[in-house]
């Protein structure tokens, strides 16, 4: 009993000392998320015309669908590695005291080495997200914590030997 209490106090002390790194990680994630959102928003609100002028293509020869698909493809190409790099990063910063960029690289590496289980987890999470969203999003009160626990188990499997 005393060992468990001591372990909890130790984990709380590590989390308390890791808040600057967690704050930095949050700022990094917010900035990347904002850039990706602006990329998509810009493509929907006229970035096609700007790209047409910038690329030297006449606006009358330019197809908006082509630009939207190109921008959506770039967003997908950039957001997947960002999501993988962010998946375990907060846990690695909070519990192991890693710097945010080191934690993101280690998270990306861990997800890449376990890509098939990560893909299965993401597909199952997406399938569960649909019914969780239907009742005015109230299903997320249950699904959110379940997904958090579901992310902790692979973290333990990837980064610990026991």
Cα–Cα nearest to 139, from 129, 147, 149: 129
| pLDDT recorded at residue 11 | 67
Half-sphere exposure of 75 (CA within 13 A, CB side): 18
Per the confidence metrics, is the pTM higher than 0.85?
no
- Both tokens of residue 87? 């998946």
| pLDDT recorded at residue 56 | 57
User: What is d(CA 150, CA 88) in angstroms, rounded to the nearest whole number?
Assistant: 12
- Is residue 148 a contact partner of residue 125, using CB atoms and an 8 Å limit? no
- Sequential DSSP letters for 134-147: TTTTTTHHHHHHHH
User: What is d(CA 147, CA 19) in angstroms, rounded to the nearest whole number?
Assistant: 23
SS (H, E, C) 74-137: HHHHHHHHHHHHHHCHHHHHHHHCCCHHHHHHHHHHHHHHCHHHHHHHHHHHHHHHHHHHCCCC
Q: Average pLDDT over the chain, rounded to whole?
A: 82
**Reduced DSSP (H G I as helix, E B as strand, rest coil) percent helix, strand, coil of the chain, to 5:** 85, 0, 15
More confident residue, 30 or 4: 30
| pLDDT recorded at residue 139 | 93
In angstroms, the first-to-last Cα distance of the chain is 21
5, pLDDT greater than 70 = no
Please report, to the nearest 10 degrees, the dihedral formed by the alpha carbons of residues 82, 86, 88, 93 taken in order: 130
110, pLDDT greater than 90 = yes
Average pLDDT over every residue of 155-162: 82
Average pLDDT over every residue of 121-128: 93
Which tens digits make up the pLDDT trace of 59-107? 555 555 666 677 778 778 888 899 999 999 998 998 888 999 999 999 9
Which tens digits make up the pLDDT trace of 36-46? 888 777 766 66
């Amino acid at each position: 009993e005393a060992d468990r209490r001591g372990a909890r106090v130790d984990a709380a002390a590590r989390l308390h000392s890791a808040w600057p790194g967690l704050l930095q990680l949050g700022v990094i994630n917010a900035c990347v998320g904002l850039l990706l959102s602006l990329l998509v928003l810009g493509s929907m609100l006229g970035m096609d015309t700007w790209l047409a002028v910038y690329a030297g293509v006449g606006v009358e020869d330019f197809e908006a669908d082509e630009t939207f698909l190109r921008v959506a493809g770039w967003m997908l190409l950039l957001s997947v590695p960002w999501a993988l790099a962010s998946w375990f990063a907060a846990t690695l910063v909070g519990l192991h005291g890693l710097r945010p960029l080191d934690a993101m690289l280690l998270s990306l590496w861990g997800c890449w080495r376990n890509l098939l289980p990560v893909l299965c987890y993401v597909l199952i999470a997406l399938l569960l997200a649909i019914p969780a969203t239907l009742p005015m999003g109230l299903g997320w009160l249950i699904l959110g914590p379940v997904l958090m626990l579901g992310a902790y188990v692979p973290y333990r499997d990837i980064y610990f030997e026991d």
